[in-house]
Amino acid sequence: MSIADNAFTRLQPFADALYHCATCNYCGSATWPQRGIDGVCATLRSHSPVASYSGKGYLATARALLEGEALDLDSVAERAYACTTCGNCEAVCPIDMPPTAVVKALREELHERGHAPAAALAVRDHVLTRQNPWGAPAAHDSDWSLGLAPHPQPDLWLLPGCAAAHRHPAEVRAAAQLLTVMGFDVGWPQQVTCCGAPLTALGFADDAATQHAALTASLPQQATLAVLGGECLSQLRPDGQPAQSVLQLLHAALHDGRLAVAARGDAPPPAVVAVQDSCHLSKPHHGLTDMDAPRLLREVLAALGCQVTQAATAPRYAVCCGAAGGMAQLHPASARRMAGECITAADRFGAEALIAASPLCAGHLAGSGGGRLPVYGICEFIAAHYAVAGPHA
Amino acid sequence: MSWQTEITALLPPGLAWQEPVDTLAYRRDTSIVSPGRPELVVRPPDAPTVGRVLAAASRLNVPVYSRGAGSMYAGGVNPHAGGLVLDLGGLDGILDIDAVKGVVVLEPGVTFGALLAALEPFGQTIGIVPSTGAAATVGGAVSAHALGTGSPRFQSMGDEVAGLEVALADGSFIRTGSAAAHGAGFFQRYAIGPDLTGLFIGADGTLGVITKIALWLHPLPAHRETACLGFADYPSAAAFIGELQRKALLDNVWYGAGYDAAAVRGRLLGADPKLDPATLPRFMLGLDYGGEPDAVARDRTRIEALAAHYGGQPQPRFDEAYFHALRRDELYWYSYAGYFAKSRCAMVLVSLATETLPAFLDLAQTWRERHPQFTWASASVLCRRGLHGAVLTFYDEQHQWPDVQQVVANCTGELMATGCVPYKSGKLWADQVSRLTEYHRALTRIKLALDPAGVLAPGNLGLGSG
């Protein structure tokens, strides 16, 4: 076996890993209750059970391409673009294989060779022209803030992200209000500029870099950012942008007393809730594990008096809800099934509501669940069920 | 109509694949055995579909290789003769947990991790759990006769099987043990004549495809603890282990693993570089006790007293530095830990009589010196009777695959000459099994009776060409 002299240059950096995969199938079917692992791959569960859609399948495909095997690239593309890029396969791998990174590199190769699926190209077009992957009209970017006024001299810029602005506006609206109550002078951009995260996931690396640069240029110098979406945060943080998650700010304010909460008598909160941990906020692949977002979210819910149903070990290996990686745009029926699985699991645990840390997940779950279980973003949940008080209340 | 089309028509939509990009991941298992080239992969949703696929494959003369997670180390799932791969991952139901009869009945695609999670609320567990168990399937482990945790108490996977349902090559089904009688169910393995259950355990899919498995249940141990014993030389360690087995002191030991001089030195100096290597024992035995607290305390005292008679001393440092964490926190990571040394592992598994342990360890050391281009390790696992041994050769798959295949082929011959016996045979041991003349002739006759077209896993166990 040797690497052929072909031009799959994006895969070359992964050559060692491709020969290292033990094909143990952890990325496909691992269950390890003591570690909170209960299944791994949402695509295998809800899109197709054949291994070519799994971490080890992507590694095998990349290795075969590097070794010069003549695979039909449209077929390869159909498989590679069905990954949610959640990173759970990397989280469970006993020997730290990088299948999610390989999928992204594979997508870059396929795009450069003209094999990106039409639906992926449509997402790219939407981001480049409308600044969101759904193609929602840019005119609606600020609908979430109707009736709210940004502070004229803000000390904190709230970056709603396209997911919150277009898919779950209640979350960003609640976030703006809570941050104000907490004592921040909150401003926000009047128009959304996509950070490029959806393009990175789909393998449009150059376009993603362009978007990222445009967003950075649009922000005031030295602005302190409050970011709602995990995917935006993972896109921005590597550049040293002073970005914090709204969850971090919320957690700090609840624990240092800047935000006081009391359950509303007219809309009492559910006693038992389930949590959908954002893959971007909880899996090592996305580079934000140092935030320890799953713990923060649980501590926020504990401070609110809610009991969380899942085991404390669950977050690192939570199965994806199907919102990310282009799944919802390229394979909407499968993405809905993934969301349905998450809601069914929450229901089975006896939860009365499902709380998501990221607006992308919250919007997708709420839109796919058929109303079986109320789904909230964390700020939206507080706004719906608690009276709040703070320095600016 | 092609055979692929004919067999695909037997499956519900979306459960058969023949594009090369889809069949790639079904070419091989974790072993060094060369990959095969499946022409079709199917994932039956239920046992009747398995029967229909087998009947069609026999009629059409298409080789069939059944597969669970594909995590075995003997090439038994590699489609050496091409043909069809039967992915049994879709048969993943736990059908009955009967704590009264002491039996769990399940389908072959259930992973050990899922099974243990399902049994825990009942306060029950099973006897043998491979160290690949987070993803390994029970069907694969029974078919390949896996080893793992539980062997000091329960001996081997096969001993823990209460009965089977098997799809035969003609598409018909048999149930073995007490379940062979209509409506009786699985509660005793030995019933109605000879043990047909055993015929399919370790057969690597050559005689039939397992579609249901009944395993014995055992109470979850109330208390667990680990301890390690060090010995100055291999013969003393072997004599001690033999005495443990003769005195039946293993009722409350769930796992026992032996570590040779190189491993002991590596682990201990890795944890504490200041240790004087001259003071380290040559052989370490790690024991994972499980049972009622009083019984564990009693047995541990007796075992350590017996060890002292053979010069064995408690080694809490090794337990702390390695064994305890392995057993409690890293159990399912363990099998792949050594992959950080080189890209892949060639693992050869054997059964050996306890007194053969020193020769086995010396042989492993010989290969370490003879083939320094590879990273070598050996492991021995304590059974109720005898031992399981593993020779692990870590190699760079991109550059050393053919070389390691040749070296391992030579090793298998030397292991047999030393008195070791092929274990988890699959394809890796096929040549050696073929040389066991009378035994292999009997296997061939059974094969002919059950699979006259020779379509089931040709090549495994040296049966058929592939």
Query: Inter-chain contact B344–A71, Cβ cutoff 8 Å?
Result: no
pLDDT on residue A306: 95
Q: Which residues between 304 and 323 in chain B have a beta carbon less than 8 angstroms from any beta carbon of chain A?
A: none
Round the CA-based radius of gyration of chain A to a whole number and report it. Answer: 21
Query: Inter-chain contact A1–B20, Cβ cutoff 8 Å?
Result: no
Domain boundaries, chain A: 12-116, 138-389
Judged by a CB distance cut-off of 8 A, whether residue B65 touches chain A is: no
pLDDT category at A390 given cuts 50, 70, 90 is confident
- For B375-394, the DSSP string reads EEEEEEEE-SSSEEEEEEEE
Beta bridge partners of B111: B137
Note whether B42 and B66 are within 8 A (CB): no
Residue A347 has pLDDT above 70, yes or no: yes
Query: Inter-chain contact A19–B397, Cβ cutoff 8 Å?
Result: yes
Q: Which residues between 201 and 260 in chain A have a beta carbon less than 8 angstroms from any beta carbon of chain B?
A: none
Beta bridge partners of A272: A307
User: From 3.40.50.1240, 3.30.300.330, 2.60.120.10, 3.90.1150.10, which CATH number describes the B342-422 domain?
Assistant: 3.30.300.330
Match 């007490």 to its residue by tokens. Answer: B178
pLDDT on residue A5: 66
pLDDT on residue B20: 97
Option in B69, B332, B401 nearest A29 (CB): B69
Match 């991941």 to its residue by tokens. Answer: B25
Reading the block at residue A208, the tokens are 């993603």
Q: Residue B396: list chain A partners with CB under 8 A.
A: 19
Domain boundaries, chain B: 3-89, 92-219, 223-331, 342-422
Q: Where are the alpha helices (DSSP H) in chain A?
A: 15-20, 26-29, 42-46, 55-66, 73-80, 88-92, 99-112, 118-130, 161-167, 169-181, 197-202, 205-218, 230-236, 246-256, 279-282, 293-303, 327-330, 332-348, 359-368, 378-385
Note whether B105 and B212 are within 8 A (CB): yes
Match 């690239």 to its residue by tokens. Answer: A73
Residue in A closest to B18 by C-alpha: A50
Match 């015929």 to its residue by tokens. Answer: B199
List chain B residues with pLDDT less than 70: none
Mean pLDDT of the A109-136 span: 95
- The size of the A-B interface in CB pairs under 8 A is 122
Beta bridge partners of B288: B226, B255
| Integer Cα distance of A25 and A29 in angstroms | 6
Query: Inter-chain contact B25–A64, Cβ cutoff 8 Å?
Result: no
Tell me the per-residue pLDDT of A146-177, one tens digit each, with 9 for 90 and over: 999 999 999 999 999 999 999 999 999 999 99
The C-alpha of B36 sits at a distance from chain A's nearest C-alpha, in angstroms, of: 14
Task: Classify the C-alpha dihedral A23-A35-A83-A14 as positive or negative.
Answer: negative
Percent of chain A having pLDDT more than 90?
Answer: 77
pLDDT on residue A312: 61
Tell me the per-residue pLDDT of A23-55, one tens digit each, with 9 for 90 and over: 999 999 999 887 888 889 999 999 999 999 999
Residue in A closest to B68 by C-alpha: A25
Query: Inter-chain contact B71–A25, Cβ cutoff 8 Å?
Result: yes
Judged by a CB distance cut-off of 8 A, whether residue A75 touches chain B is: yes
Percent of chain A having pLDDT more than 70?
Answer: 96
Closest CA to A21 of B391, B30, B349, B36: B30
| Integer Cα distance of B53 and B90 in angstroms | 14
Q: Which residues between 3 and 22 in chain B have a beta carbon less than 8 angstroms from any beta carbon of chain A?
A: 14-15, 17, 19-22
Average per-residue pLDDT in chain A?
92
pLDDT on residue B338: 72
Q: How many CB atoms lie within 10 A of CB B108?
A: 28
pLDDT category at A241 given cuts 50, 70, 90 is low
Q: How far is CA A228 from CA A159, B338, B401, B451, in A?
A: 7, 41, 49, 62
Residue in B closest to A80 by C-alpha: B21
pLDDT category at A139 given cuts 50, 70, 90 is confident
pLDDT on residue A313: 60
| Integer Cα distance of A224 and B68 in angstroms | 52
pLDDT on residue B148: 87
| Integer Cα distance of A127 and B82 in angstroms | 46
Q: How far is CA A92 from CA A13, A83, A101, A218, A284, in A?
A: 22, 16, 14, 38, 10
Option in A28, A32, A50 nearest B41 (CB): A50
| Integer Cα distance of B153 and B397 in angstroms | 37
Please give the single-letter amino acid code of residue A19.
Answer: Y
Burial of A343-382, coded b for 16+ CB within 10 Å and e otherwise, reads bebbeeeebbbbbbbbbbbbbbbbbbbeeebbbbbbbbbb
CATH number of A12-116: 1.10.1060.10
The C-alpha of B89 sits at a distance from chain A's nearest C-alpha, in angstroms, of: 9
CATH number of B223-331: 3.30.70.3450
Reading the block at residue B19, the tokens are 């594009």
Query: Inter-chain contact B22–A72, Cβ cutoff 8 Å?
Result: no
Q: Residue B135: list chain A partners with CB under 8 A.
A: 24-26, 28-31
CATH architecture of B92-219: 2-Layer Sandwich (3.30)
Judged by a CB distance cut-off of 8 A, whether residue A73 touches chain B is: no
SS3 category, B67: strand
Fold of B3-89: 3.30.43
| Integer Cα distance of A361 and A369 in angstroms | 12
Q: Is this model's pTM higher than 0.80 or not?
A: yes
Greatest Cα pair distance, chain B, in angstroms, is 72
* DSSP tag of B91: -
pLDDT on residue A315: 72
| Integer Cα distance of A50 and A72 in angstroms | 17
Residue A392 has pLDDT above 90, yes or no: no
Residue A1 has pLDDT above 60, yes or no: no
Note whether B72 and B182 are within 8 A (CB): no
Q: Which residues between 99 and 138 in chain B have a beta carbon less than 8 angstroms from any beta carbon of chain A?
A: 111, 113-114, 116-117, 120, 132, 134-136
The C-alpha of B229 sits at a distance from chain A's nearest C-alpha, in angstroms, of: 28
Judged by a CB distance cut-off of 8 A, whether residue B330 touches chain A is: no
Q: Which residues between 180 and 199 in chain A have a beta carbon less than 8 angstroms from any beta carbon of chain B?
A: none
Query: Inter-chain contact B111–A71, Cβ cutoff 8 Å?
Result: no
- At a CB cut-off of 8 Å and minimum separation 6, what does A150 contact? A186, A187, A188
Q: Where are the alpha helices (DSSP H) in B68-206?
A: 112-119, 138-144, 151-154, 196-200
